[in-house]
Amino acid sequence: MTVASEIKATFEFKPGLEGVPATMSSISFVDGQKGILEYRGIPIQELAEKSTFLETCYLLIWGELPTKQELEAFEHEIRYHRRIKYRIRDMMKCFPESGHPMDALQACAAALGLFYSRRALDDPAYIRAAVVRLLAKIPTMVAAFQMMRKGNDPIQPRDDLDYSANFLYMLTEQEPDPLAARVFDICLMLHAEHTMNASTFSARVTASTLTDPYAVVASAVGTLAGPLHGGANEEVMTMLAEIGTVENVRPYVEHCIQNKKKIMGFGHRVYKVKDPRATILQNLAEKLFEKFGRDKYYDVAVELEKVVAEKLGHKGIYANVDFYSGLVYRKLGIPDDLFTPIFAIARVGGWLAHWKEQLAENRIYRPTQIYTGSHQAPYVPIEER
Ligand code: SDX
């Protein structure tokens, strides 16, 4: 038996840990063949129709839908923790305007740990306070960076506005249209949680060291930023502009296939059919177009979805959550490089649910590796190299 085959017999290495369970979890469920997504057993379509983002976060984090009183208390706490410390704003003033808002967000999330350094991971009151702070302040940070990089003062949160309406207000200083605010709130629900995706895995690994929740969220934000994960929503809009017209779609797809180039907003490790969130997002985009006018790239997107299904459907490659979200956000007047920070605002709910679940039965993550290097190698003096 060779060393390589001996190793293979002992461990079955799965690149990207495909199909390897990393935890036991009761937070969400995905059936990638049937296109089913449930949060705590409730289908995503039902939540999108009937719930709100904060109620959904409560469900994800505490495992049950809140009573009316519980929800009101939760919303109330979050409303009154939306402001951020002036020192965080001062820190943000030093960030380059050209920097990506995801980098700004990661730095700000980590900085929260400087202000709330007490750590009592077995105290439910501590957990609740961290949940409230992170859900309340992350949107304010995203909006503040947006204003400051344009040379304006950040807009203070408004206590009379709901979570999503307040975020949209802080971006523009205008009260959003009720349909826009509701659509945005649904988008947050759709992005709140998705089993063991890369950023959630990152959050759980970080949580397993018993560090503070701000470090957990900061590490997850960094992981979400990449174009293979949350960063794809911004890339989709660049791609649609590059394609430009419906006629260019087919040659674009053929070129990508020939050159083994990934088409942004398509494919998924788990879904082998259209992502159910993409279906809801497409419907939301159409609702917005009816009221506020059609996006010039929507026809390109629809044609792209059709051609990708035709050419790559046999491999199970269909539109994912990132494909239509940008068209929705753009119609809401949101700049492209805030799409991924918005994904992060939403996913804080899921990351915190996983943080809490990890703490309840923690063991530090410490997998193994298959060493492929040499042994007993000589140290060669620098002048002989
Ligand atoms: C998110 O995990 C989650 O749950 C994530 C997420 C969440 O809510 O947290 O759903 C959010 O991250 C959505 C994904 C956003 N990313 C993109 O849209 C980027 C484009 N898509 C991919 O690069 C890719 O599909 C991934 C990263 C999403 C999945 O990667 P995998 O599972 O490692 O698949 P792979 O790259 O190994 O591809 C398998 C095959 C390959 O073909 P073969 O070599 O086997 O012939 O499918 C092909 C790939 O070339 N393929 C694609 C493709 N995605 C996969 N071909 C063209 N375009 C694509 N987009």
291-340 pLDDT, tens digit per residue, is: 999 999 999 999 999 999 999 999 999 999 999 999 999 999 999 999 99
Query: Quick check: CB of 139 below 6 Å from ligand 1?
Result: no
pLDDT at 266 over 90: yes
pLDDT at 3: 60
* pLDDT at residue 81 greater than cutoff 80: yes
269 Cβ inside 6 Å of ligand 1: yes
Is the per-residue pLDDT at 2 higher than 80?
no
- Out of 307, 315, 339, 343, give the residue to mutate to test ligand 1, the one with the largest number of ligand atoms within 8 Å of its CB: 315
Q: How far apart are CA 335 and CA 317, in angstroms?
A: 28
Q: In this structure, are 52 and 164 located in the same domain?
A: yes
| Residue 196 placed within a domain | yes
Does residue 373 lie in a domain region?
no
What CATH number does residue 261 fall under? 1.10.230.10
Establish if 216 belongs to a structural domain.
yes
- Binning pLDDT at 50, 70 and 90, where does residue 344 land? very high
Give the bridge partners for 36, in sequence order: 31
Last residue of a domain, one of 316, 331, 346: 331
| In a shared domain, residues 120 and 263 | no
Please provide the average confidence, as pLDDT, over all residues in the chain.
Answer: 96
Positive or negative: CA dihedral 369, 375, 376, 382 = negative
Are both 258 and 286 inside the same structural domain?
A: yes
The tokens describing 235, both together, are 């890339």
DSSP string, 210-264: T--HHHHHHHHHHHHTSTTTTTHHHHHHHHHHHH-SGGGHHHHHHHHHHTTPPPT
Which of 191, 320, 342 is the best mutation target for the ligand 1 pocket, counting ligand atoms within 8 Å of the beta carbon and taking the most? 320
| 194 and 147 together in one domain | yes
Query: Does 16 reside within a domain?
Result: no
How many structural domains are present in the chain?
Answer: 2
For residue 232 and ligand 1, the question of a CB distance below 6 A is answered with: yes
- Verify that 64 and 213 share a domain, yes or no: yes
> In the prediction, which pLDDT does 117 show?
86
172-218 pLDDT tens trace: 999 999 999 999 999 999 999 999 999 999 999 999 999 999 999 99
Provide the residue range defining the domain that includes 118: 28-177+189-226+337-360
pLDDT surpassing 70 at residue 70: yes
Are residue 193 and residue 278 in the same domain, yes or no? Answer: no
- Out of 110-119, 214-223, 244-253, 259-268, which region has the weakest mean confidence (pLDDT)? 110-119
Instruction: Summarize the confidence of residues 235-239 as an average pLDDT.
Output: 96
Q: Which atom of ligand 1 is nearest to the CA of 257?
A: 57
Residue 374 lies in a domain: no
Q: Tell which atom from ligand 1 comes closest to the C-alpha of 193.
A: 8
**For 150-170, what is the mean pLDDT?**
97
CATH number of the domain bearing residue 156: 1.10.580.10
- Asked whether residue 133 falls in the same domain as residue 252, the answer is no
pLDDT for 4 equals 59
Helices (H) and strands (E) in the chain — how many of each? 17, 3
Residue 276 sits in the same domain as residue 296: yes
pLDDT score at 12: 85
Same domain, 51 and 197: yes
Residue 7 pLDDT class (50, 70, 90 cuts) = low
The pTM score is 0.96
Q: Kindly list the catalytic residues.
A: 268, 322
Which residues, other chains included, contact 192 with Cβ-Cβ below 8 Å and sequence gap of 6+? 39, 53, 56, 57, 60, 346, 347, 349, 350
Question: Is residue 197, in this structure, part of any structural domain at all?
Answer: yes
Q: Is residue 7 part of a domain?
A: no
DSSP string over 308-356: HHHHHGGGT--B-HHHHHHHHHHHTT--GGGHHHHHHHHHHHHHHHHHH
Residue 292 resides in a domain: yes
Same domain, 105 and 209: yes
Q: Maximum distance among all alpha carbons in the chain?
A: 75
**Helix/strand/coil for 162:** coil
pLDDT-above-70 percentage for the chain: 97
Pair (105, 240) in one structural domain: no
Q: Which of 331, 349, 370 is the last residue of a domain?
A: 331
246 in the same domain as 220? no
Hey, whose CA ends up nearest to atom 57 of ligand 1? Answer: 262
